[in-house]
């Protein structure tokens, strides 16, 4: 790390974003030969700690270097210098253009990050506020695991996952009508990793993948990173447009379809049971694999039927992904897959290649947490907390949003999807709202071409009741103002956090 001492970032007065300063400093080090071909750049967290900057600053700087061909990423290993100083003539040098035309002007929001200050009303994050995390209970099970398993808790865990945890999860999902064997369960370090290893195990460059439009940004990023061609299918109030689905299966012969049938991200809609059954029939007809991302079905308030597709899948065509991030603690990075038998080997190999195994200590603690029944109490507690917010959010949207703002109210989950009157851009609303200390997720983030849309997502996961009322009233009045002469917003560089 010593050589990185020479990087001097101006955090106070410079008008240039920190990630651009860092990018330039690293580029100079490569071109001057301080960093040589094959040298490994420090891991993101290490460098961000060392320079006392946000992780995103380092991620963004590395990305520009990668786009310029100065560094390359080796999956699971790190970022390496690709070119030597003597090769500098051949280095694609479009930094000026890149910085002026793109990065300087495109706010971080376009790259999926929001700027967050302490007192902001955060409708952008679908992640629960940390004060809802069951820290004391989890501390107790962690201690118990350490007393019981001692060093074993810190050894490598089997790649498929700690066996007793898989048994416990098998029991847990049987309540949701998913009946499987522990051998079909794969523990993952969060649903994001689940999506990633499925893509790693199944996709080759140029393969087609079908998704909903709009869809989850993190999944699109994974498929893109594999070189897949992503085809989107319009989402209706009760699920995918089936005609379009069938046509696209025939035209593109996709490797799989990725969907979130319950409380979809970002729209909050749930597929009707009828559509779920039809999709299963279509999958059987075309032998189509479906990746079902169940990141939130536990938070059901009013849906009569929030069955998972997996529970309807009799032909082992659905790869089921379960995340605990939204109802438990995202930082644990724990989730699981139910994998069709035909794919178990590919998935296991991809998991092994990615991180060998998910933390054994945390898997053991979660198993104990489930076994002791604390999990059930916690889910009930989260349901209560969220139900109240959900009701207030619903009431405020109905009461305060201008009449020409459109929405379909969800029956559960944490996301509300709204549409501004035609001609108004949600990005413009975002820029104005930021100045009023309110953030949300503009709709363009969730569409394939990132096009500017009038849609936007409001999440209630990280806001309290008072903030909801104040925030929705304020947003409503900003929309009313936007309907009058136009305002232009400006975003101050600050702390950025990913929209998840
Ligand atoms: C639809 C969806 N899938 C997956 C994830 C990632 O979840 P995890 O934290 O379990 O990796 C998110 C996070 O917001 C999400 O919204």
Q: Which atom of ligand 1 is nearest to the CA of 264?
A: 1
Q: Which atom of ligand 1 is nearest to the CA of 265?
A: 1
Closest CA to 287 of 228, 216, 342: 342
Report the pLDDT value the prediction gives residue 87, as an integer from 0 to 100. 57
Distance, CA 418 to ligand 1 centroid (Å)?
21
Closest CA to 379 of 178, 194, 172, 123: 172
Report the pLDDT value the prediction gives residue 59, as an integer from 0 to 100. 86
- Quick: pLDDT tens for 55-83: 888 888 888 888 888 888 887 888 999 87
Distance, CA 218 to ligand 1 centroid (Å)?
7
Residue reference for tokens 């995390």: 133
Give the pLDDT band (50/70/90) at residue 15: low
Q: Is 17 left (phi over 0), alpha (psi -120 to 50) or beta?
A: beta
Nearest-CA residue for atom 7 of ligand 1? 191
Beta bridge partners of 213: 234
The CATH code for residues 162-368 is: 3.40.640.10
- Quick: pLDDT tens for 183-214: 999 999 999 999 999 999 999 999 999 999 99
- Quick: pLDDT tens for 359-397: 999 999 999 999 999 998 999 999 999 999 999 999 999
Nearest-CA residue for atom 13 of ligand 1? 500
Distance, CA 273 to ligand 1 centroid (Å)?
23
Q: Where in the chain is the domain with CATH 3.90.1150.10?
A: 115-126+377-498
- Quick: pLDDT tens for 315-369: 999 999 999 898 899 999 999 999 999 999 999 999 999 999 999 999 999 999 9
The answer to whether 435 and 489 have CB atoms below 8 angstroms apart is yes
Dist CA 80 CA 326 (whole Å):
34
The architecture that CATH gives domain 115-126+377-498 is Alpha-Beta Complex (3.90)
Distance, CA 158 to ligand 1 centroid (Å)?
24
Distance, CA 268 to ligand 1 centroid (Å)?
14
* pLDDT beyond 50 at 491: no
Pairing of strands 256-259, 208-213: parallel
Residue of 112, 187, 265 with the most ligand 1 atoms within 8 Å of its CB, for mutation:
265
* pLDDT beyond 80 at 465: yes
Report the pLDDT value the prediction gives residue 104, as an integer from 0 to 100. 42
Q: Which atom of ligand 1 is nearest to the CA of 330?
A: 9
Q: How many CB atoms lie within 10 A of CB 447?
A: 18
Distance, CA 343 to ligand 1 centroid (Å)?
22
Report the pLDDT value the prediction gives residue 390, as an integer from 0 to 100. 96
Domain 2-105: top CATH class: mainly alpha
Q: Where in the chain is the domain with CATH 3.40.640.10?
A: 162-368
Higher pLDDT, 311 or 29: 311
109-118, 271-280, 473-482, range with the lowest pLDDT: 109-118
Distance, CA 386 to ligand 1 centroid (Å)?
18
285-294, 432-441, 485-494, range with the lowest pLDDT: 485-494
Residue of 126, 191, 457 with the most ligand 1 atoms within 8 Å of its CB, for mutation:
191
Q: Which atom of ligand 1 is nearest to the CA of 216?
A: 1
**Ligand 1: lining residues by beta carbon, under 6 Å:** 126, 190-192, 216, 218, 260, 265, 293, 295, 323, 325, 330, 335, 500
Q: Which atom of ligand 1 is nearest to the CA of 127?
A: 14
Taking each helix axis as running N to C, give the angle between helix 426-435 and helix 465-482, from 0 to 180 degrees, rounded to the nearest 10: 120
The answer to whether 419 and 407 have CB atoms below 8 angstroms apart is yes
Residue of 114, 215, 325, 336 with the most ligand 1 atoms within 8 Å of its CB, for mutation:
325
DSSP class of 300? B
Residue of 122, 295, 358 with the most ligand 1 atoms within 8 Å of its CB, for mutation:
295
- Quick: pLDDT tens for 154-191: 999 999 999 999 999 999 999 999 999 999 999 999 99
Distance, CA 1 to ligand 1 centroid (Å)?
33
CA 375 → CA 162, 212, 324, 382, 472, distances in Å?
A: 18, 32, 11, 10, 33
Give the pLDDT band (50/70/90) at residue 490: very low
The answer to whether 212 and 193 have CB atoms below 8 angstroms apart is no
Distance, CA 129 to ligand 1 centroid (Å)?
15
Report the pLDDT value the prediction gives residue 362, as an integer from 0 to 100. 97
* pLDDT beyond 50 at 102: no
Give the pLDDT band (50/70/90) at residue 111: low
Distance, CA 337 to ligand 1 centroid (Å)?
13
Q: Chain-wide mean pLDDT for the chain?
A: 89
Q: Where in the chain is the domain with CATH 1.10.10.10?
A: 2-105
Q: Which atom of ligand 1 is nearest to the CA of 335?
A: 10
Q: Which atom of ligand 1 is nearest to the CA of 195?
A: 4
Distance, CA 67 to ligand 1 centroid (Å)?
26
Gyration radius from the chain CA atoms: 23
Distance, CA 58 to ligand 1 centroid (Å)?
22
Percent over 70 (pLDDT), the chain? 89
Distance, CA 91 to ligand 1 centroid (Å)?
36
Give the pLDDT band (50/70/90) at residue 12: confident
Q: Which atom of ligand 1 is nearest to the CA of 324?
A: 10
Give the list of residues 6+ apart from residue 362 with CB closer than 8 angstroms, or none: 332, 333, 334
């Amino acid at each position: 790390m010593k050589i990185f001492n020479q990087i001097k970032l101006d955090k106070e007065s410079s008008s240039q974003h920190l990630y651009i300063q860092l990018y330039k400093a690293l580029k100079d080090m490569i071109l001057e030969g301080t960093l040589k071909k094959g040298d490994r750049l420090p891991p993101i967290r290490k460098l961000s700690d060392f320079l006392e900057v946000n992780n995103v600053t380092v991620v963004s700087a590395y990305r520009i270097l990668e786009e310029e061909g100065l560094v390359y990423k080796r999956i699971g290993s790190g970022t390496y210098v690709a070119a030597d100083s003597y090769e500098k003539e051949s280095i694609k040098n479009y930094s000026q253009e890149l910085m002026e035309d793109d990065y300087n002007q495109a706010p971080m929001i376009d790259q999926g990050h929001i700027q967050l200050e302490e007192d902001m009303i955060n409708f952008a994050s679908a992640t629960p506020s940390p004060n809802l995390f069951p820290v004391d209970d989890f501390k107790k099970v962690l201690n118990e695991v350490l007393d019981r398993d001692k060093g074993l808790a810190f050894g490598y865990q089997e790649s498929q996952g700690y066996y007793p945890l898989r048994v416990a999860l098998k029991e847990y999902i049987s309540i949701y009508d998913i009946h499987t064997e522990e051998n079909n369960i794969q523990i993952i370090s969060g649903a994001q990793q689940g999506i990633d290893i499925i893509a790693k195990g199944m996709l080759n460059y140029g393969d087609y993948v079908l998704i909903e439009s709009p869809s989850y940004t993190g999944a699109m990023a994974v498929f893109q990173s594999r070189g897949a061609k992503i085809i989107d299918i319009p989402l209706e109030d009760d699920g995918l447009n089936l005609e379009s689905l069938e046509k696209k299966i025939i035209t593109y012969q996709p490797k799989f379809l990725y969907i979130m049938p319950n409380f979809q991200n970002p729209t909050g809609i749930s597929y009707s049971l009828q559509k779920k059954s039809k999709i299963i029939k279509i999958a059987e007809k075309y032998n189509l694999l479906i990746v079902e991302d169940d990141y939130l079905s536990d938070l059901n308030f009013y849906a009569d039927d929030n069955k998972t597709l997996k529970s309807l899948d009799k032909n082992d065509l659905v790869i089921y992904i379960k995340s605990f991030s939204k109802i438990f603690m995202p930082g644990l990075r724990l989730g699981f897959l139910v994998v069709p038998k035909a794919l178990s080997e590919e998935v296991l190999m991809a998991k092994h290649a990615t991180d060998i195994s998910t933390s054994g200590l945390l898997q053991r603690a979660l198993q104990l947490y489930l076994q002791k029944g604390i999990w059930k109490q916690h889910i009930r507690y989260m349901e209560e907390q969220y139900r109240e917010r959900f009701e207030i959010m619903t009431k405020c949207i109905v009461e305060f949003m201008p009449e020409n703002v459109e929405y379909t109210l969800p029956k559960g989950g944490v996301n509300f999807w709204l549409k501004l009157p035609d001609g108004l851009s949600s990005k413009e609303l975002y820029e104005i709202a930021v100045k009023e200390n309110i953030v949300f997720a503009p709709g363009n983030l969730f569409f394939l071409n990132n096009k500017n849309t009038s849609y936007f997502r409001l999440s209630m996961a990280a806001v309290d009741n008072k903030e909801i009322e104040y925030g929705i009233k304020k947003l409503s009045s900003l929309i009313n103002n936007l309907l009058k002469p136009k305002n232009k917003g400006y975003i101050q560089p600050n702390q950025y956090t990913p929209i998840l």
